[in-house]
Amino acid sequence: MFSVRQVYDAPEIEIAKELIRGALKRYWTVSVFAGDKWTIEKSRSSRDIFKAMFLAETEKLRFRTMIGKFVGDIVLCYGDGEDVILDWSNRYEIKELVASIRGVPLQ
């Protein structure tokens, strides 16, 4: 059973938060799919987004522009330390966001 306490303050939490901060700096909205539902949709509030995250072992972050255009997705899987970023959309903007996170090599 997954528990937020198992990963709280772990490096993967900071990586996930850096992704959110990077997306918000790009003026994107963020939606979080955790478990079997969207826990937040099209938000620009880091506080609300962070509250909606870390609820499941695997989460999908969906990014859109301010006018609603799809930018891409990033899938996170907690429990593997710095290997938290499991997969991402093959789009320039998402690759750039992933590459901006320290210690995460682009493939």
Residue-wise pLDDT for 79-90, tens only, equals 877 788 999 999
Task: Report yes or no on 16 lying in a domain.
Answer: yes
- Distance of alpha carbon 50 from alpha carbon 1, whole angstroms: 21
What global pTM score does this model have?
Answer: 0.87
Which structural domain range is residue 76 located in? 4-99
User: Measured between alpha carbons, how far is 70 from 102 in angstroms, rounded to an integer?
Assistant: 25
Write out the H or E segment, with its range, that includes residue 106. none
Residue type, 86: L
- Asked, for residue 42, whether it belongs to a domain, the answer is yes
Write out the H or E segment, with its range, that includes residue 60. Answer: strand 58-64
The length of the chain is 107
Is 8 part of a structural domain of the chain?
Answer: yes
> Tokens in use for 83?
């290997």
Please give the distance of CA 28 from its chain centroid, rounded to a whole number.
12
- Per the domain annotation, does 107 fall within a domain? no
Is residue 105 a part of any domain in this protein? no
Judge whether 27 lies within some domain.
yes
**Which tens digit of pLDDT belongs to each residue from 31-69?**
999 989 999 999 999 999 999 999 999 999 999 999 999
Residue 6: Cβ-neighbour burial (10 angstroms; 0-12, 13-18, 19+): exposed
In total, how many domains does the chain have?
1
**pLDDT over 80 at 5, yes or no:** no
In a domain, 13, yes or no: yes
Report if residue 46 sits inside a domain.
yes
Instruction: Quote the tokens at residue 84.
Output: 């938290």
